[in-house]
Amino acid sequence: MNELIVAGQYNIGHICTTHQCKSGLKDKTAMRWVSAHHERTDYTFGDLDAASNRFANLLDTLGVLPGDIFFTFLPKMPEQFFAFLGTLKHRTICGTLFSNFGEDALLDRLSDSKATGIITKKSFLRKIKRIWPQLPELRFVILVDIDEHSEENVYSYKQLMDAASAEWTTALTPPETPSVLHYTSGSTGKPKGALHAHRSVLLQNSTTRDVLAVNSNDIYWCTADQGWVTGTSYGIIGPWSLGVTQVHFGGVYDASVWMDLIQTERITVWYTAPTALRMLMRESPELYAPFDLSSLRHISSVGEPLNPEVMVWGEKILGKKIYDTWFQTETGGILIPNRPGTPIRHGSMGKPIDEIEAAILSDDGSQVGVNTHGNLCIKSGWSSMFITYINNQEKYDSRFRDGYYYTGDTAYRDDDGYFWFVGRSDDVINTSGHLVSPFEVESALLELDEIVESGVVGVPDDLLFEKVITYVALRDGITIAPELDLKIKLHISNRLSSIAAPHEVIAIEKIPKNKSGKIMRRVLKAWYLGLDAGDISTMED
Ligand code: ATP
Ligand code: MG
């Protein structure tokens, strides 16, 4: 196998393109692009290399300097990948923004980061223009869909790329050089800008191979949007650093279309999220009957705990086990996963990868025993560890104590070394002296046919300290009658414990989620208490 790092060159853009070409993959398909209208275009590693070289040259022409911050603000499309890799080759920091962000979300991130430039689409320019007066550092905008430069500081991607050379030599990039900037998805508070370094490629590469089980002959599909860490770490960096062919699909979720994509493209490895799997689970089993999904060899999931019910469904309908993996924006890559060779325990997120040491610590920093809830911590210094929260070193420092990084998640370890997610530390419910995991209650609720999704929160209570409140989205045509209310409470009481049984069941049309599909429990809590829900810029429309 080829070495990943040659002569100290850690540059991610270089490794994913030039290095692959030099290793003999110039003519191999790097990306099969399938547009929303199902047109297919193949790009080789040679094409990726040339386009990202042009983009690096283009940034040079515009006077961008290494270390500046540049953003992509695009839906999934080939230009986004070229821009991302080219920006990294240039040693400029690349941030990625969800394409459906509104003005406030954009303003927050662009002003906090003091971004120099941004690549986007014509239809998004209006949003940017409205906030541009408040962004003195923002020098230019590049539009992917105009043929010629249109006005001052608004450039045509096409015109710039046509004028740029396809030759570029990436400067030697030491491992600590800043690379990618991701604002966290904001499930628990205001988004924070986690800054990464080029060395992250080591872990992203090895986990794509060993955890996601991707090898050089695979056809790999990662459904995550490039706006969040899974989309860059495992939708760009990991697979291309291994020289793997990726399918990228520009369309939205549609169960039949997705199954057709797997069948037609003969996708072998698929990385997706519980929210997508829960949506697929809602479809009738007949939907899947006509599709030949036999190409699928390995399926993994990330972003939220994987409900046991979903794992059972996966084996039955997709014919494969689903491997849960745990990581965060801050960790840059997968740290605690289920992976080939280690038996899965339904509901557990698996065992730490070899490179890291994970620990369950109490609030005072001491190790807690097995099967006891505590703070999920990682020994500082893994290769994809974030460098800082941009403009918030204090917050960064507060996450580290005695050589451990505190993830903000609560978990426990069982006798055999499996880790079990309990909840985000601020989401875990403390009721009558017992800890209740909202995830466990939500998973048990999925067993009831009437319930499509749920969100469980704890709210203050004089007697119990906190009481359990359950929001449910019900199947079409079902309403919350007293019988159903009782059925839900009894079900939780029987399945988990009477302590976890909800005090109140409230039906709503849709459970609030953020753009990466996570249930925003803090929003539910605020609704219940009649408080302002705070920053909801990452909430799904
Ligand atoms: P913020 O930190 O701003 O509130 P966020 O934590 O939602 O945002 P991410 O970094 O995208 O932003 O999410 C990471 C979190 O998602 C983890 O800390 C964990 O709570 C949850 N998570 C991710 N994968 C899993 C998993 N496999 N099982 C359980 N929880 C998971
Ligand atoms: Mg977080």
Q: Is the CB of 410 under 6 A from ligand 1?
A: no
Which of ligand 1's atoms lies nearest the C-alpha of 423?
Answer: 20
DSSP-based three-state secondary structure for 179: strand
pTM given for the model: 0.92
Which of ligand 1's atoms lies nearest the C-alpha of 194?
Answer: 10
414 in Cβ contact with 408 (< 8 Å): no
Closest-lying ligand to the alpha carbon of 538?
Answer: 1
What residue owns the CA closest to ligand 1's atom 17?
328
Confidence at residue 186, expressed as pLDDT on a 0 to 100 scale: 67
Phi, psi of 511 (to 5 degrees): -80, 130
Per-residue pLDDT tens for 86-122?
A: 999 999 999 999 998 888 889 989 999 999 999 999 9
E strand intervals along 257-348: 269-272, 298-302, 322-326, 336-337
Confidence at residue 187, expressed as pLDDT on a 0 to 100 scale: 66
3-state helix, strand, coil in the chain (%, to 5): 30, 25, 45
Q: Is the CB of 438 under 6 A from ligand 1?
A: no
Question: How far is Cα 249 from Cα 48, in angstroms, rounded to an integer?
Answer: 17
Question: How far is Cα 79 from Cα 310, in angstroms, rounded to an integer?
Answer: 35
Element (DSSP H or E) covering residue 312: helix 308-313
Instruction: Say how many Å lie between the CA of residue 372 and the centre of ligand 2.
Output: 22
DSSP-based three-state secondary structure for 95: strand
Q: What percentage of the chain carries pLDDT values higher than 70?
A: 99
Among 327, 389, 396, say which to mutate for ligand 1: greatest number of ligand atoms within 8 Å of CB. 327
Confidence at residue 1, expressed as pLDDT on a 0 to 100 scale: 47
Per-residue pLDDT tens for 251-274?
A: 999 999 999 999 999 999 999 999
Name all domains of the chain by residue range, CATH numbers in brackets.
45-199 (3.40.50.980), 434-529 (3.30.300.30)
295 in Cβ contact with 263 (< 8 Å): yes
399 in Cβ contact with 387 (< 8 Å): no
Closest-lying ligand to the alpha carbon of 184?
Answer: 1
What residue owns the CA closest to ligand 1's atom 11?
185
For the CA atoms of 142, 147, 149, 155, the dihedral, rounded to the nearest 10 degrees, stands at: 10
DSSP bridge pairs for 77: none
If you average pLDDT over every residue of the chain, what do you get? 95
Per-residue pLDDT tens for 378-427?
A: 999 999 999 999 999 999 999 999 999 999 999 999 999 999 999 888 88
What residue owns the CA closest to ligand 1's atom 7?
187
Per-residue pLDDT tens for 7-53?
A: 999 999 999 999 999 999 999 999 999 999 999 999 999 999 999 99
If pLDDT is split at 50, 70 and 90, which confidence band does 361 have? very high
Instruction: Say how many Å lie between the CA of residue 328 and the centre of ligand 2.
Output: 6
Strand ranges across the sheet with 193-197: 154-156, 140-143, 117-120, 69-73, 93-97, 178-183, 193-197, 388-389
**196, two tokens:** 């990464």
Phi, psi of 171 (to 5 degrees): -65, 150
Tell me the mean pLDDT in the region 275-292.
93
Question: How far is Cα 282 from Cα 304, in angstroms, rounded to an integer?
Answer: 18
Instruction: Say how many Å lie between the CA of residue 307 and the centre of ligand 2.
Output: 20
Per-residue pLDDT tens for 42-84?
A: 999 999 999 999 999 999 999 999 999 999 999 999 999 999 9
Which of ligand 1's atoms lies nearest the C-alpha of 190?
Answer: 3
